[in-house]
Amino acid sequence: MDKSTTHGGLTRAAFLSGLGIAIGGSVLFSTKAIVAKLLYRYQLDAVTVLAFRMLFSLPVFATIAIWKMRTEAPLTTNDRWRILGLGLVGYYLSSFLDFLGLQYISVGLERLILFLTPTFVLLISSTVLKHHIGRKQWMALAISYCGIVLVFVHDLQGGSNVVLGAALVTGSAAAYAAYLLLSGEMVKRLGPLRLVSYAMCVSTVACVGQFFLLRPASGLLQPLPVYGLSLLNGMMCTVAPVFMTMIAVERIGAGTASQAGMIGPVSTLFLGALLLGEPVTSWQLGGTALVLSGIYLLSKK
């Protein structure tokens, strides 16, 4: 067997490039929490930060959506309603709760909670869809949640708002887990690119509509750094990771790509220390190790 090839017949170079893309996408997506924290320093709130993020990412997703509408078969009425629901739950509600929670907790804790999304998928599958959960899966869940409790108890020293922030981000993870479960069948029929572009357009309408409903139009006038950070949030932390993840899954498979994504919480922890001055403690490192261990076991299953 050629030593330059890996499992699945991929060349080593192709596998490593796919792995690198998966890691890069995970790091960029995790960086949105850092950018949001930087934007909050300009006295912005979650409603405004989210509206700017979606406005700057809209041109790309709208272009793809229009292209897909012209080249693909028309959507059925049922599919249109499903996409409306998926966009509101998976990208609007999930993102809004996430950005709200970030006002109260560290980026390290936020990323760890969001990283529990696969466990929420499993729990929803068990309770709602009545799927069986094996002993090893329960063990993986227990290890992951022990890690969250470890970091959470440590961060409680920051005040009672930590409880509120953690609850909001947990709601975000649960909403995204519901989106993943509900979108499974549609992804196979419509393809990930078409589904994501449509859902993101729906989410943008909801986020921008919410802004104009709750905030004055003058709120769109912000200092120049706000526009720069929002452009970074929309393009590098939203659009780029979506495409990078798709490319990585195509090259190395969903399983390997998801395991490579485990670098996300670790990168956020250290980027938070570097850019925001958030301390990296032994409690956080220990909790991160437990969460990653549990998710790794779950992904292997």
In the block, tokens 């227990």 appear at 142
Please tell me which residue, 249 or 210, carries the higher pLDDT value: 210
**Residue 273 pLDDT > 60, yes or no?**
yes
Looking at residues 282-289, what average pLDDT do you find? 83
Looking at residues 127-156, what average pLDDT do you find? 79
**Residue 85 pLDDT > 80, yes or no?**
yes
Report the chain's mean pLDDT, rounded to a whole number: 86
Q: Which percentage of the chain shows pLDDT scores above 70? A: 93
In the block, tokens 């466990």 appear at 119
Looking at residues 20-24, what average pLDDT do you find? 88
Distance CA 53, CA 36 (A): 9
Confidence (pLDDT) at 120: 81
**Residue 59 pLDDT > 50, yes or no?**
yes
Task: Report yes or no on whether pTM surpasses 0.75.
Answer: yes
Please give the C-alpha separations between residue 280 and each of 15, 98, 273, 286, in angstroms, as whole numbers.
32, 21, 6, 11
Instruction: Give which of 252, 269, 248, 259 is closest to 297, Cα–Cα.
Output: 259
Confidence (pLDDT) at 179: 87
**Residue 1 pLDDT > 50, yes or no?**
no
In the block, tokens 């078969």 appear at 73
Residue 5: strand, helix, or coil: strand
Confidence (pLDDT) at 300: 65
Please give the C-alpha separations between residue 28 and each of 94, 130, 214, 239, 265, in angstroms, as whole numbers.
18, 35, 30, 10, 11
Contacts of residue 271, Cβ cutoff 8 Å, sequence gap at least 6: 30, 31, 34, 107
